[in-house]
């Protein structure tokens, strides 16, 4: 089982040097370009944290955010992989992210070299939003060369987030720690190129522990960069070749959507729809929250699914983005 993976080592950089909101005016100029990494910062804690992070086993005490906090509540998929990725791997990650963004999903990754950066850039190129989860403070973007990319992410309606104070330098242990936030923000995690010792396997293990979908992209059997992905696939991860495979795995099949842009749910279904968010909501939870009869609640959820407002996912339902 994926949950039984031993904690992998490697592919992690060495150190290089409350219901409440708090704001900071500090920011960084994006080196080498006209963009500026957004100055405004919010600190979320308690009930202000995204619901998907409040329910994981080890939620952050605070989450510092630059950019659009709304992006953290939208249905998301994480794409992560090797920092030393091949050209083909980077191209695949960029294309996959662009297709998922075009389908309405937010793409989450870690702003690292290789697959992470390709995923962020692909989402932006696809006209979508992306979220970067740092292993350092928001004023210490790592790698520093990706400060421009961080600015592009926030300018594009996405967010750059961290659980560490803004001036915290990157340290080796913080990157595995932040991986639980990458998976926690997402419906599932796609691994694109990873050795058997890749830090990306930490993210896959945490995704499994959090009840998220674990997905992997196969590669050439002789390539070391395929070893981690093939190990995941042998353990039951969903095999990914296209964005449609991802959408199916996380229960977000856009081909089944019948809702028109801007269409609202019928008033008689509003109370049920209100109970369904980015996290999986079960029929029993809807019944408990609304007081409806079991059969009536089930019929309402099925109708909302047919209308394109919700999607079946892991024994319950999630809301589709507007």
96 and 34 assigned to the same domain? yes
pLDDT at residue 12 in the model: 41
Give the CA dihedral 115, 75, 57, 116, nearest 10 degrees. Answer: 10
pLDDT at residue 260 in the model: 56
119 and 102 assigned to the same domain? yes
Residues in the chain, pLDDT under 70: 1-38, 253-262, 314, 321-322
245 and 264 assigned to the same domain? no
Task: Out of 190, 220, 249, pick the residue that ends a domain.
Answer: 249
For 108-127, how does the pLDDT look when each residue is reduced to its tens digit (9 = 90+)? 999 999 999 999 999 999 99
132 and 280 assigned to the same domain? no
Separation between Cα atoms, residue 148 and residue 157, nearest integer Å: 15
Q: Where are the alpha helices (DSSP H) in the chain?
A: 51-54, 87-102, 115-125, 147-155, 174-184, 200-209, 227-234, 243-249, 267-274, 283-290, 294-307
Tell me the chain's radius of gyration from C-alpha atoms: 19
Task: Out of 249, 284, 304, pick the residue that ends a domain.
Answer: 249
For 13-34, how does the pLDDT look when each residue is reduced to its tens digit (9 = 90+)? 434 433 444 444 444 444 444 4
121 and 240 assigned to the same domain? yes
224 and 308 assigned to the same domain? no
242 and 171 assigned to the same domain? yes
Which residue matches tokens 């042998």? 234
| Nearest residue to 282 (alpha-carbon basis) of 319, 317, 250 | 317
Q: Which residues contact 313 (CB under 8 A, 6 or more apart)?
A: 187, 250, 251, 252, 280
User: Residue 150 sits in a domain of what CATH number?
Assistant: 3.40.50.450
232 and 288 assigned to the same domain? no
Burial of 209 (0-12, 13-18, 19+ CB in 10 A): middle
Task: Out of 232, 249, 266, pick the residue that ends a domain.
Answer: 249
pLDDT at residue 190 in the model: 98
261 and 240 assigned to the same domain? no
DSSP string, 155-188: HTT-EEEESS-TTPPP-TTHHHHHHHHHHHTSSE
68 and 154 assigned to the same domain? yes
Range of the domain at 292: 257-319
13 and 160 assigned to the same domain? yes
Instruction: Say how many domains are in the chain.
Output: 2
298 and 156 assigned to the same domain? no
Separation between Cα atoms, residue 229 and residue 200, nearest integer Å: 10
Instruction: Please count the residues of the chain.
Output: 322
pLDDT at residue 105 in the model: 94
pTM of structure? 0.74
Report the chain's terminal Cα–Cα distance, integer Å. 35
User: Residue 273 sits in a domain of what CATH number?
Assistant: 1.10.10.10
pLDDT at residue 106 in the model: 96
């Amino acid at each position: 089982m994926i949950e039984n993976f031993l904690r992998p080592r490697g592919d992690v950089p060495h150190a290089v040097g409350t219901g409440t909101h708090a704001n900071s005016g500090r920011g960084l100029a994006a080196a080498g370009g006209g963009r500026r990494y957004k100055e405004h910062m919010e600190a979320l804690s308690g009930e202000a944290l995204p619901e998907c992070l409040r329910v994981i086993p080890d939620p952050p005490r605070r989450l510092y955010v630059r950019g659009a906090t709304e992006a953290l509540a939208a249905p998301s998929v994480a794409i992560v992989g090797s920092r030393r990725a091949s050209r083909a791997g980077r191209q695949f990650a960029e294309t996959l992210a662009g297709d998922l963004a075009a389908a309405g999903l937010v793409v989450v990754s870690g702003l690292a070299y290789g697959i992470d950066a390709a995923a962020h850039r692909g989402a932006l190129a696809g006209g979508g939003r992306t979220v970067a989860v740092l292993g350092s403070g928001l004023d210490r973007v790592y790698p520093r060369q990706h400060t421009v990319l961080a600015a592009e992410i926030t300018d594009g309606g996405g967010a750059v987030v961290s659980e560490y104070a803004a001036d915290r330098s990157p340290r080796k242990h913080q990157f595995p720690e932040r991986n639980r936030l990458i998976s926690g923000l997402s419906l599932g995690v796609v691994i694109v190129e990873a050795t058997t010792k890749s830090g990306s396997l930490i993210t896959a293990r945490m995704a499994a522990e959090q009840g998220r979908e674990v997905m992997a992209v196969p590669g050439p059997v002789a390539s070391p960069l395929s070893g981690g992905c093939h190990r995941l696939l042998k353990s039951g991860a969903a095999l990914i070749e296209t964005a449609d495979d991802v959408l199916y795995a996380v229960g977000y099949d856009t081909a089944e959507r019948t809702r028109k842009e801007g269409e609202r749910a019928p008033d008689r279904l509003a109370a049920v729809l209100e109970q369904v968010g980015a996290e999986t909501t079960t029929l029993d939870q809807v019944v408990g929250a609304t007081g409806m009869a079991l059969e009536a609640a089930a019929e309402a959820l099925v109708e909302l699914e047919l209308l394109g407002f919700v999607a079946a996912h892991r024994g319950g339902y999630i809301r589709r983005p507007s």
